[in-house]
């Protein structure tokens, strides 16, 4: 079985660029109804995962860790790079190559809601949701009986 079988392609995935503002990230997540989204650079390389908790702590604690409050308008001037989000080289945010064995995808999906998928160059090409994997195996192994 191929990882691409499960993948939602990049064109259908909401993501944020690493040079966007905190407000743009908040609005993207809010309007999409997502609690986490991939972060890419402008060249399409996968950089990490931004979770709503990362944004919450940024708004509450700010860049230097000092408690403060921010108006939504002020967030237009705050670059996303100031937010501590999960970077691509951290355990919870590592992508899986589309050419990897399916076992790699399943192992990664056990710990996260979605797994970022990259090509051989490291370019982001989509995601696989944990629910898609569970649904496939449910339909194949349980529903057919």
Give the confidence band of 98 by pLDDT, cuts at 50, 70, 90: very high
Q: Are strands 8-9 and 46-51 parallel, antiparallel or unpaired?
A: unpaired
Token pair belonging to 93? 């945010």
Residues 71-100: what's their mean pLDDT?
Answer: 88
Q: What is the pTM of this model?
A: 0.88
For residue 90, what is the DSSP state? S
Residues 106-129: what's their mean pLDDT?
Answer: 95
CATH number of the domain enclosing 133: 3.10.580.10
pLDDT of residue 68: 56
- Per the structure, the count of domains in the chain is 1
Look-up: residue for tokens 């696989």? 128
Expressed as residue numbers, the domain containing 21 is 3-143
How many whole angstroms separate alpha carbon 44 and alpha carbon 40?
6
Give strand ranges (E) for 28-130. Answer: 36-40, 46-51, 86-87, 96-97, 114-118, 124-129
Q: Tens digit of pLDDT for each residue in 52-67?
A: 999 988 887 765 555 5
């Amino acid at each position: 079985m191929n990882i691409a079988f499960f993948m939602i392609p990049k064109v259908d995935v909401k993501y944020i660029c690493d040079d966007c503002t905190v407000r743009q990230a908040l609005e993207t997540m809010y309007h999409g109804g997502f609690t986490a989204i991939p972060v890419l650079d402008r060249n399409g390389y996968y950089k990490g995962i931004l979770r709503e908790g990362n944004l919450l702590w940024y708004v509450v604690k700010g860049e230097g860790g000092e408690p403060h409050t921010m108006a939504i308008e002020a967030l237009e001037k705050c670059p996303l790079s100031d937010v501590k989000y999960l970077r691509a080289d951290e355990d919870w945010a590592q992508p899986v190559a589309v050419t990897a064995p399916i076992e790699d995808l399943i192992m990664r999906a056990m710990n996260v809601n979605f797994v970022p998928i990259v090509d051989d160059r490291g370019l982001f090409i989509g995601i696989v949701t944990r629910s898609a994997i569970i649904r496939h195996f449910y339909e194949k192994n349980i529903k057919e009986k």
